Structure 1
Amino acid sequence: MSFSGKTVIVTGAGKGIGRACAQVLAERGAEVVALSRTAADLESLHAEIGCRTVLVDLIDPKAARAAMAEAGTCDFLVNSAGINVLESVLDMTEAGYEAVLGINLRGALITCQEFARRRVEAGGGGAIVNITSIAGHRGFQDHLAYAASKAGLEGASRVLAKELGPHGIRVNCVAPTITLTELAAVAWSDPKKSEPMMVRHPLKRFALAEEVAHSVAMLLSDDGAMISGAVLPIDGGFLSV
């Protein structure tokens, strides 16, 4: 599964799943264009894999479009940028909603649109993978806006797949379970919190960021040439039981 000679834009590349995607794709020969809002993360990633970097906060639509213009015409797009604001149904704030939906959904749709416009101008072809979540399929406490953003991105991805398919552009999603990034590992280290969730996973563990990245790579590659409009759970069987 080589990506030699291919270029890929990865949003949210500074940390977590996005960073793992950038690392895995670079290891397999891709030229990575890393987008992040944290300069220090971009600097360390550049030192590690030699990627191009674009500093941007995707909550700003104009900045998001400018960042995609700077990234230029690439072969693939991975949308991993995302945040969560933990608020209950009764306590949801406009600020929390705007932040989560602004980055997780609107920001992703803008990057998809700008990527697709350039691919069509270049003659078509290419692929997009959007990182969603099992939270878009099951109800989790205090995840109201987050669940809406991820379920919305999956619905939008099906429209993207339908409209962009005639141009040879495939669009898919991966929906990870709890993924043990550095921050998540701390958040879920308390057995009282993790065990009730763990028992709902047939494989009896959470995901690693690199495992999600490997699935993203498969969907981008020629091995996934007939896969479009799909949502692939990376969840150890969570959604099956």
Structure 2
Amino acid sequence: MSFAGKTVIITGAGRGIGRACALLLAQRGAQVIALARTASDLARLQEEIGARVIAVDLSDPAAARRAMAEAGTADFLINSAGINVLESVLEMSDEGYEAVLGVNLRAALITCQAFARMRIAQGGGGAMVNITSIAGHRGFEQHLCYAASKAGLEGATRVLARELGPHGIRVNAVAPTITLTELAEAAWSDPAKSGPMMARHPSARFASPEDVARSIAMLLSPDAAMLNGAVVPVDGGFLAV
């Protein structure tokens, strides 16, 4: 599955799933345009894969639009940027809501809009993948705003697919289970915490960032030409049982 001659914009490319996508697609020939907030993460990608890098705080709508204008026209967009603020229903704060919805949902809609406008100006075509979560399908404690943002992004993905399909632009999403990024590995290292959750996975394991990246690459490829508006669980069967 080669991406030679193709260009991909990846938000949240500095770490976790976004970084895994950047490394995989670069390995398969793509030119990566990496958007992230942390300069050191971007510098690392620039050194490792020759990525074009853009430092941006996606919680700022104007900054997100400027970053996409700087990125320019690309063949693909991956929305990987995401945050969580652990607050229960009774503890939800305005600050937590704005932070989570601002990055996970509003920024993704801005980048999708900017990408679509540029693709249409070039005659259409291309593909996007949004990264959601099983938290948009199941109720996890202290994930109120996070769940709302991910479920909202799945709904938006279907609208994007409907409106942009006539322009030859495909839009899909992946909904990963717990993905063992550096931070998640520490958070789920306690068997007392991870055991009950692991037992709900028929595959008997959590996902790696590379698992998710490979699924995203499939959705961007011509092999997925008839997949549009889909939400693909990358969950080892969690949502099936």
Structures share a fold, TM > 0.5? yes
Q: Distance in 1 between matches of 2:52 and 2:213?
A: 19
Aligned twin of 1:133: 133
Q: Deviations over 1:45-103 (max 9, x none)?
A: 11111100000010000000000000000000000000000000000000000000000
Q: Distance in 1 between matches of 2:139 and 2:100?
A: 17
Percent sequence identity over matched residues?
75
Aligned twin of 2:79: 79
Paired AA for residue 206 in structure 1: F
Q: Normalising by structure 2, what TM-score?
A: 1.00
Aligned twin of 1:92: 92
**Aligned positions of 1:55-70 closer than 5 A:** 55-70=55-70
Aligned twin of 1:237: 237
Secondary structure of the structure 2 residue equivalent to 1:207: coil
Gaps of 5+ in 2: none
**Aligned positions of 1:29-44 closer than 5 A:** 29-44=29-44
Any runs of at least 4 consecutive aligned residues in structure 1 with deviations exceeding 2 A, and if so which?
A: none
Shift, 1:218, TM fit: 0.3
Aligned twin of 2:186: 186
Secondary structure of the structure 2 residue equivalent to 1:217: helix
Aligned twin of 1:216: 216
Shift, 1:197, TM fit: 0.3
Gaps of 5+ in 1: none
Q: Distance in 2 between matches of 1:240 and 1:221?
A: 25
Q: Deviations over 1:7-54 (max 9, x none)?
A: 000000000000000000000000000000000000011111110000
* Matched residue count: 241
Shift, 1:141, TM fit: 0.4
Shift, 1:182, TM fit: 0.6
Measured on the aligned residues, the alpha-carbon RMSD in Å equals 0.3
Aligned twin of 2:158: 158
Secondary structure of the structure 2 residue equivalent to 1:206: coil
Q: Distance in 2 between matches of 1:174 and 1:46?
A: 26
Aligned twin of 2:225: 225
Paired AA for residue 139 in structure 1: G
Q: Distance in 2 between matches of 1:40 and 1:131?
A: 23
Q: Distance in 1 between matches of 2:144 and 2:207?
A: 22
Paired AA for residue 43 in structure 1: A
Aligned twin of 2:196: 196
Q: Distance in 2 between matches of 1:141 and 1:72?
A: 39
Q: Distance in 2 between matches of 1:143 and 1:47?
A: 36
Aligned twin of 1:17: 17
